[in-house]
Copies of this chain bind each other. A is one copy, B any other.
Amino acid sequence: MVEQFLKYIHTEKLFHSSQRILLAVSGGADSMLMLHLFTNAGFSVAVAHCNFGLRGGESDGDEQFVAEYCDKHNLAFYVKHFNTQDYAMEKGISIEMAARDLRYAWFDGLLSKHNLDLLATAHHQDDVIETFLINLSRGSGIKGLSGIQPKSGKIIRPMLFTNRTEILEYCQRLKIEFRTDSSNVDTVYKRNLIRQQILPLLEQVNPAFRRNAMKTVGNLHETGQLFQQRMSEIKTWVYSEDDQGAMIHIDKLLTLYPLRTILFELIREFGFQAEQVDDIIDSLTKESGRQFFSGEYRLVKDREYLLISPFLSKQDQVFYIEENCLKINYPIHLSLEIIDRKPDFRFSTHPNVADLDLDKVVFPLILRHWQEGEYFQPLGMTGMKKLSDFFVDEKYSIPDKENIWILASGNQPVWIVGKRLDDRFKITSITKHILRIRME
């Protein structure tokens, strides 16, 4: 095992023995064996442990276990506690993604702060194959299928020469202690399914399945590099950036194929989704003005170019609704209707419907997020109330508050959309025309 390990580092040119390596150590068998192999080989290492606090006392036990090992072996030990759940909610991403983001950002900081050269993670061959199959099952591209490589940037994976079975055998033989992750999150369930049931069957299809799959992943990785070379050329030709944002030359773009993949590669870094690409392609030969939105960017189909520019910030977004507007689809779906007041008119009590006195509002109406220190007069109340107090009463979380839209007339809130009307714009006995706005 030691020999294989050293040989792998050598043939893959992972690092020089003079370099200082930061080892990401969870306390599991994979990373504990990696730690053992590094220290026994006499390489210069430091240890980083992430405590995601996702498994309560068990997480703390892991931390203590790794800390004690490092103490005993005189190794620099860094630990950080992460509030994964909050970060995931805030960013609207999965716990898994959140943990990944937080972890690598911290590792990156550690490398520069402590003058370390590379980060080593304990990914092994089974991780590669499991990730391949999970990404395949999710729908993926070449990057997702060939993601875990021996070396990428400042990250090295020196355990890719071996697999889970060998790691466990070797740990047992050398009495290397490790902690077992009892978590039963979705990913773990899927990985167990692949490991225990799917892989054995794939080995019936071909006994050399693992080796061949590893070879395939390697081939895809190299193909991906050539694909990226081609994309760089294309980017140089059709794409440019300035202070305003980025622009893509439409006529040039239209001479290229396959359009779908090319366009997606050009705009994915701005957060646009693969599902939007067909619509954008569709707009290329249509009239100018169509807009597409990602989390933080707007893409506009202009005459010569696709123009991509950032929003100021999500919370600063403002949208205007003109008087003749019947419907808006972004950032939320609203339909507008003007109704002549009939004697038998009954206003709606549905929270998604606002019946307003048309003559009291000023166009264009403004759709925006709430502002600190802002007041409104909740329907049925005679006094004014701070929006922040209203939110407290309604027990809204930070993301809840950020996601709420305010429909305003001038600088007065008219409707906390989907929540509460402002009393000043309600229908009264003298209302002649009703503006009915419905959120869909």
Interface residues of A (CB under 8 A from B): 133-142, 145, 190, 193-194, 197-198, 201-202, 204-206, 208-209, 211-213, 215-216, 219-220, 222-227, 229-231, 233, 257-258, 260-262
> Which B residue sits closest to A140, measured CB to CB?
B216
Contacts of A231 in B (CB 8 A): 226
25 contacts between A and B (CB under 8 A): A133-B205, A136-B209, A136-B212, A137-B206, A137-B208, A137-B212, A137-B213, A138-B206, A139-B215, A139-B219, A140-B212, A140-B216, A141-B220, A142-B142, A145-B216, A145-B220, A190-B206, A193-B201, A198-B205, A201-B201, A226-B227, A226-B230, A226-B261, A230-B230, A230-B233
> Which B residue sits closest to A130, measured CB to CB?
B205
On whether A202 and B198 interact (CB within 8 A), knowing A141-B219, A227-B223, the answer reads yes
Whether the pair B198, A193 counts as a contact (CB closer than 8 A) is: no
| Copies of chain A in the complex | 2
Most B-side CB within 10 Å, residue of A205, A206, A230, A262: A205
On whether A261 and B201 interact (CB within 8 A), knowing A211-B139, A226-B227, the answer reads no
Contacts of A141 in B (CB 8 A): 216, 219-220, 223
Give CA–CA (A257, B190) in the complex, Å: 36
Whether the pair A260, B205 counts as a contact (CB closer than 8 A) is: no
Interface pairs A-B: 4 shortest CB-CB: A139-B212, A137-B206, A222-B261, A230-B230
Whether the pair A202, B142 counts as a contact (CB closer than 8 A) is: no
Give CA–CA (A228, B421) in the complex, Å: 59
Give CA–CA (A227, B265) in the complex, Å: 14
Give CA–CA (A198, B201) in the complex, Å: 7
Give CA–CA (A357, B190) in the complex, Å: 69
Whether the pair A136, B216 counts as a contact (CB closer than 8 A) is: yes
Residue among B138, B213, B225 making CB contact with A136, cutoff 8 Å: B213
Contacts of A193 in B (CB 8 A): 201, 204-205
